[in-house]
Amino acid sequence: MIITVTPNPSIDRTAVLDTPLVRGAVHRIASIGTQAAGKGVNISRAAVAAGVDTVAVLPADADDPYTRELRDAGLTVRPVHPAGSVRINLSITEPDGTTTKLNSPGDTVAAADLDRLAEAIVAEAATRTAEDWVVLAGSVPPGTPAQWYAELVATLAATPPRVAVDTSDAPLAALIERLAIGAPHLIKPNSDELASLTGGDPEAIEADPAAAAKAAAGLVADGIEAVLATLGANGAVLVTADGAWRATPPPIEVVSTVGAGDSSLFGYLLGHERGLPPAERLALAVAYGSAAAGLPGTTVPTPDQVRPDLVQVRTLSEV
């Protein structure tokens, strides 16, 4: 079971161009798609496609078109009364797969809104087992204290499931600063996020898996059980107390990178669900992310589109 938490859900609109994007120019859109999304929601969609039980906890009205779309897609949704309407994000995808994202912040929340959401998350987690996961995913809406995720991780420590976090900016920094009060079992930074935590150069980290693994190893030493760092076209690295591994994806034609990181995280969780060793979890993570990058918009891959057998994994001996 995967409980996903999306505190700042979105309606994703993806505009596909048949020519490169030129700033200040007029472009004709080849196609446009709209989907109820958000990082946690994307993970729940991938879980449904793979036949894994999932519950999506998020702030939205029960009869909102956003919520109805998710239910129509087969998701079990635990809606919590929201502070406002669901925000709209726009992605512009060029022919080579380059994606430009324009994300709106969402409506400002009050303490009562965050308390309702936290209570729903903890109540859902309390009914689960130690084999299950709670995934805290994405940005937080305006008005949310930077330490909200960190405090929620500490609260969830009293419930059975394992906790994964995929976020950025101030919430990620606050999480790392407060590892002493509660460390998640897993985080999934990209190269920019990993660099922001370690003071490294994001381009160097993305280009050098050994550098990424070394940066991730410091976070493991601070109490995080596993760090899955995604490195774009260079694949990903996984670091735990038992070792470090890098995975290289097969060559693909990139269509859209939106949601690829979410699919990577799901691939890792699916590997855990199947009882796979770390290297095979990493292969499945990279295979899912690679498959997602070859699909339009925020489309998540189905299991038949995922090829972990084409992913090359090797152990990193020095971290």
User: Catalytic residue at 309?
Assistant: no
Please tell me which residue in 53, 262, 304, 309 is annotated as part of the active site.
262
> In sequence order, which residues have a C-beta less than 8 Å from that of residue 112 and are 6 or more positions away?
none
With residue 162 as reference, give the H or E element that holds it: strand 162-166
Pairing between β-strand 10-17 and β-strand 87-93 as defined by DSSP bridges? parallel
Burial class of residue 232 in the structure, from the number of CB atoms within 10 Å of its CB (0-12 exposed, 13-18 middle, 19+ buried)? middle
DSSP state of 245: E
Joined tokens for residue 128: 């689960």
DSSP letter for each residue of 82-142: -SSPPEEEEEEE-TTS-EEEEE---PPP-HHHHHHHHHHHHHHHHTS-TT-EEEEES---T
Phi and psi dihedrals of 105, rounded to 5? -75, -25
Distance CA 233, CA 236 (A): 9
Contact 272, 51 (CB under 8 A): no
DSSP state of 309: G
Which residues are designated catalytic? Answer: 262
